[in-house]
Chain A
């Protein structure tokens, strides 16, 4: 008979693994416990052993595929069992859809029926939607029933932990979980014991805490249930690792740097960095980006700004070029509203925004932040300057509020602050367009057959090509450039 072998949960809470290499081929004879595949999770590379003596009928994935835990990866023909029976068995297995074949096969090994996870249909669907393996979720409902909250918590747990599909290039950084934990505690000085009176946790979590010698009342709680602190298994694990590492670290406080041939230091991929990463990835892989580049000749603007700068200084306002660019952009958006929009795929609609809320990307020590200048169309150049400065300062010292970073309809990023001309700005999804500014500098410009040195500003506008056509972004950019080249036009806005 055939036995379907599913990717087992190779470690606590791991949701998926990459098949690094198959160690067998279809048709190969295998012995029980013989390694059949090398699987890499974000925690480790492990060899997955065959559960049976038999032959490999089908390998369901290719090396390199990332497979969710619980997906069938190999079908074996079990030795000594007639392959003819398989269709019968399979039919039966399909009939009892709730009980996949491998589980019943491995059931003899477990004393208790673990074949079923009790959860209502709506929760089961949610689990599929959020790609959560229901069988691995700890139920907190009556008698251990899995609730909607449990599934959501499991899904969120995945996103706050580095195990959830780190973007390709960041994988190496995220990988060695052990080091990361040590580093984390080194840097943060370990987690403070919470010392609560009462802590809610699933029985299995309590078991884990006991096993790790951790007082569950000391574990920082991630959420509340019924007004009481609720602790997850992950939190216990993390706390335990923190504690252990802190004891072992000679100098808690500064991360140790090692200079070893081929060595490396790792940084945690979490918090703001991770949020930025995720947003970038979502934007980049959801919205097909096209970037339009052009250069505005801005001799006049440089002059104008130099003049006005002094006036502004009298009012205690530092006037940069940005408020002029914002003005020009708003004018462009008014003329080409599709660039001031949001695509709502599910609703099947493109929302053209009535507000002109311009996000300004600000590089800070903790990463990129995008405070939003609300209703930029209703503000003067000086007001814009004031507001941009204030928001940027708040972003840098992290006193900026959430609201001040929400509601943007179009974003401007100034990568030119560190030099350079063009780059591909990534759209601040779900917006559909972004303007990147290069460095203002003297560059050769050909005019009437002559080359002269002129002040220029390189512009890079990325658009979501699903919503905006190339010609449109071209026209928009021309419109904006016109106003930067001839700032007097801004007076008309």
Chain B
């Protein structure tokens, strides 16, 4: 291998191959820009390799087992045997298929792929450092650079990830067998999703949460069904406790946590999973070289065109402001690529949907009633419980509801909150409605297939209009 600095030129250099970066690269190449994508670990980034996809694969697999084992009500008696190793192998197969697909798509669209860590070496130059002995480095001269370096799990002091006793979400999703017990630090969505998987695999799960609520940031009436389902699954959630330290014992470890008053509590367990949030990755980039500084959250500030303070450098995804979500990363990637190509693109969406794949699922988009009021709207709210949905009852899962929030005067939809079966899918229709400027009337007047869960959105809109059929009007 040649040691030295080989320089190539490109219109757009994309750093990071996650859902932000690879989408940006493909779009840029589609528009006809010469595009180079640099990834230092694995194509598909966090989302495909260590996040969304593996977690959802495990959630679905454990749901299948758990569903079969708990269908006596339907007259089904089963005692599924789960081979965790095979389950994980299947999940890895899904991941491989998708990451391989990303690589193929990039190549098919003419994206130059480069492996290595990219760091800025000036306003128009990246140095790509290859791993391994004597691999040397290369330079890329770019017109535009799209930074999509994503995020990594936050480590809390005293809980360095060792993959043995203290796990990150990434490590937890890579286990090929499950422990008997697990303490999960953090009741955010990652903590709760993985806790649910573990509990369904028979692990004795204790969640330790510093705040006094689960899934902070989501309305309480949405998290309540999740909380009670978690409890039914045997997950114990301890609120108001901050994990403090751990030590090894003969049978595993003991995790100590402290409440606000300095009282401590300890939990015996086999392993501890720390899922307290994620931090943006900018330290791999040598930002000094372009005089760009992250804000105090560690993110790169951007404008409506995803540009940073440096004119030709864009930032997207987890490293840019906003919720850390894959679909938001991808959309920003498209916008950045189009802006780089001189197209009139901008981040002007009305609402970013979010979903939590707990049991039951939670999904939200746009404004809640309170937020709508704060924005100056007089909100009209409609709700439809899944207990009144024919389809929900036939699935054996009828907990939860769909709620819509609209502007009373004009009828424009402003937001929706859903908890219940397939919430993550159902939210899509309402997201579309919000973006299209659809009114309650529009959604209510759209014929929905019967019997489906999606009818609930129509019914919720009818409810907001005061003429619901299958639920009592306000």
Same complex for A and B? Answer yes
Question: A237 vs B183: C-alpha distance in the bound complex, in angstroms?
Answer: 70
Cβ proximity bits A421-461 to B, threshold 8 Å, 1 near / 0 not: 00000000000000000000000000000000000000000
Nearest chain-B residue to A115 (Cβ)?
B375
Instruction: Give CA–CA (A114, B376) in the complex, Å.
Output: 8
B304–A118 contact, CB under 8 A? Answer: no
Interface residues of B in 93-144 (CB under 8 A from A): none
Cβ of B399 < 8 Å from any Cβ of A? no
Whether A107 pairs with B437 at a CB distance below 8 angstroms is no
Q: Known interface pairs A95-B321, A113-B376, A120-B435. Does A144 touch B344 (Cβ–Cβ under 8 Å)?
A: no
Given A98-B348, A113-B377, A125-B345, are A91 and B439 also a contact pair (CB < 8 Å)? no
Query: Is A145 engaged at the interface, CB distance under 8 Å to the other chain?
Result: yes
Q: Which residues of A contact B349 (CB under 8 A)?
A: 97-98, 121
- Of B78-86, B242-250, B291-299, the one contacting chain A is B291-299
Residue numbers in A under 8 Å from B321 (CB-CB): 90-92, 94-95
- For residue B289, CB closer than 8 A to chain A, the reply is no
B221 interfacial by beta-carbon distance below 8 Å: no
Q: Which of A91, A144, A146 neighbours the largest number of chain B CB atoms within 10 Å of its CB?
A: A91
Selected contact of A128 from candidates B320, B345, B375, CB within 8 Å: B345
A99 at the interface (CB under 8 A from B): yes
Interface residues of B in 347-370 (CB under 8 A from A): 347-351
Let me know if B412 and A143 touch, CB within 8 A: yes
- Is A141 touching B437 in the complex (CB atoms < 8 A)? yes
Q: Could you give 10 example pairs across A and B, Cβ below 8 Å?
A: A91-B295, A94-B301, A107-B375, A111-B376, A113-B375, A116-B375, A120-B436, A121-B348, A142-B439, A145-B437
Query: Which residues does chain B contribute within 8 Å of A121, judged by CB atoms?
Result: 348-349, 435-436
Asked if B301 and A90 make an inter-chain contact with CB atoms under 8 angstroms apart, the answer reads yes
A112 interface residue (CB < 8 Å to B): yes
Task: Give residues 339-398 of B contacting A (CB, 8 Å).
Answer: 344-351, 375-377
B297 contacts across to A, CB distance below 8 A: 87-88, 91
Closest approach, in angstroms, between the C-beta of B279 and any C-beta of chain A? 14
Q: Does A168 contact B (CB under 8 A)?
A: no
Inter-chain contact A91/B299, CB cutoff 8 Å: yes
Q: Does A119 contact B (CB under 8 A)?
A: yes
Q: What are the residues of chain A within 8 A of B296 when measuring CB–CB?
A: 84, 87-88
Q: What's the interface size class on B, roughly?
A: 20 to 34
Q: Is there a chain B Cβ closer than 8 Å to A261's Cβ? A: no
Chain A residues lying within 8 Å of B412, measured Cβ to Cβ, are 118, 143, 145
A353 CB-CB contact with B under 8 Å: no
Do A144 and B375 contact each other (CB < 8 Å), given the known contacts A124-B348, A128-B344, A128-B345?
no
Does A258 sit within 8 A of B, measured CB to CB? no
Q: How far is the CA of A144 from the CA of B411 in the complex (A)?
A: 11
How far, in angstroms, from A254 to B371 measured CA to CA in the complex? 60
CA distance A94 to B352 in the complex (A): 12
Distance in angstroms from A73 CB to nearest chain B CB is 14
Inter-chain CA distance A107–B377, complex, in Å, is 12
**Chain B's nearest CB lies how many Å from the CB of A484?**
44
> Which of B295, B304, B375 is most buried by chain A, counting CB atoms within 10 A of its CB?
B375
Interchain CA distance A119-B436 in the complex, whole Å? 6
CB-based nearest B residue for A98: B350
**Is A129 engaged at the interface, CB distance under 8 Å to the other chain?**
yes
Closest Cβ neighbor of B296 among chain A residues: A87
Kindly state the separation between the CA atoms of A384 and B332 in the bound complex, as whole angstroms. 59
A143 B348 Cβ-Cβ under 8 A: no
Segment 30-89 of A: residues with Cβ below 8 Å from B: 84, 87-88
Which chain A positions have C-beta within 8 A of B407? Answer: 113
- B256 within 8 A of partner (CB): no
Is B323 in contact with chain A by the CB < 8 A criterion? Answer: yes
Chain B hits for A87, CB < 8 A: 295-297, 301
Cα separation A128 to B339 with both chains bound (whole Å)? 12
Q: Are A143 and B439 in contact (CB under 8 A)?
A: yes
Which of A113, A121, A124, A125 has the most chain B CB within a 10 Å cutoff? A113
Chain A residues whose CB sits within 8 angstroms of the CB of B348 once the complex forms = 97-98, 121, 124
**Is B302's beta carbon under 8 Å from chain A?**
yes
- CB of A95 within 8 A of CB of B295, answer no
Say yes or no: is B442 at the interface (Cβ < 8 Å to chain A). Answer: yes
- When distances are taken between beta carbons in the complex, the residues of chain A under 8 Å from B466 are none
Q: Return the chain B residue nearest A107 by Cβ.
A: B376
B contact residues around A143 at 8 Å (CB): 410-412, 439
Interface residue? B158 (CB, 8 A)? no
Q: Does B219 contact A (CB under 8 A)?
A: no
Of all chain A residues, the one with the shortest Cβ separation from B375 is A113
Sample of 4 more A-B contacts, CB < 8 Å, known A91-B295, A128-B346, A141-B437: A87-B301, A88-B296, A94-B303, A95-B321
Answer whether A97 and B299 are a contact pair too, CB < 8 Å, given A115-B375, A142-B442, A143-B439.
no
Would B376 and A115 count as touching, CB distance under 8 A? yes
The 0/1 profile, CB within 8 Å of A marked 1, for residues 437-450 of chain B is 10101100000000
In whole angstroms, how far apart are the Cα atoms of A142 and B413 in the complex?
Answer: 13
Q: Are A129 and B439 in contact (CB under 8 A)?
A: no
Check B344–A91 contact: CB distance below 8 A.
no
CB distance from B326 to the nearest CB of A (A): 16
Is A119 a contact of B345 with CB atoms below 8 Å?
no
- Measured between alpha carbons, how far is A447 from B375 in the docked complex, in Å? 85
**CB of B451 closer than 8 Å to a CB of A:** no
Q: Digitize B297-319: 1 where CB-to-A-CB distance is under 8 Å, 0 elsewhere.
A: 10101111000000000000000
Which of the listed residues B295, B344, B347, B349 has the most CB atoms from chain A within 10 Å of its own CB?
Answer: B344
Q: Please, which residues of chain B bring their CB within 8 A of the CB of A145? A: 412, 437
Complex Cα distance, B301 from A87, in Å, reads: 8
Give me the 4 closest cross-chain CB pairs, A-B, nearest first.
A113-B376, A118-B437, A128-B344, A87-B295
Residues of chain B with a CB closer than 8 A to A118's CB: 410, 412, 437
CA separation between A332 and B437, bound complex, in Å? 57
Q: Are A129 and B437 in contact (CB under 8 A)?
A: no
| Chain A residue contacts of B323, Cβ below 8 A | 95
For the complex, what is the distance from the CA of A121 to the CA of B439, rounded to whole Å?
15
* A124 CB contacts on chain B under 8 angstroms: 348
| A369: min CB distance to chain B, Å | 34
Q: Is the CB of B376 within 8 A of A119?
A: no
> Which residues of B421-459 have CB atoms within 8 Å of chain A's CB atoms?
435-437, 439, 441-442
What residues of B have a CB within 8 angstroms of the CB of A92 in the complex? 321
B344 close to A129 (CB less than 8 A): yes
Alpha-carbon separation in the docked complex, A116 to B412 (Å): 11
Residues on the A chain within 8 Å of B252, using CB: none
A97 to B322, CA, bound (A): 9
- Nearest-neighbour CB distance to chain A for B105, whole angstroms, equals 24
Residues of B217-252 contacting chain A, CB below 8 A? none
CB neighbours of B295 from chain A (8 A)? 87, 90-91
| Complex contacts, B439 vs chain A, CB 8 Å | 142-143
Question: In the complex the two chains form, what is the Cα distance from A114 to B297 in whole Å?
Answer: 30
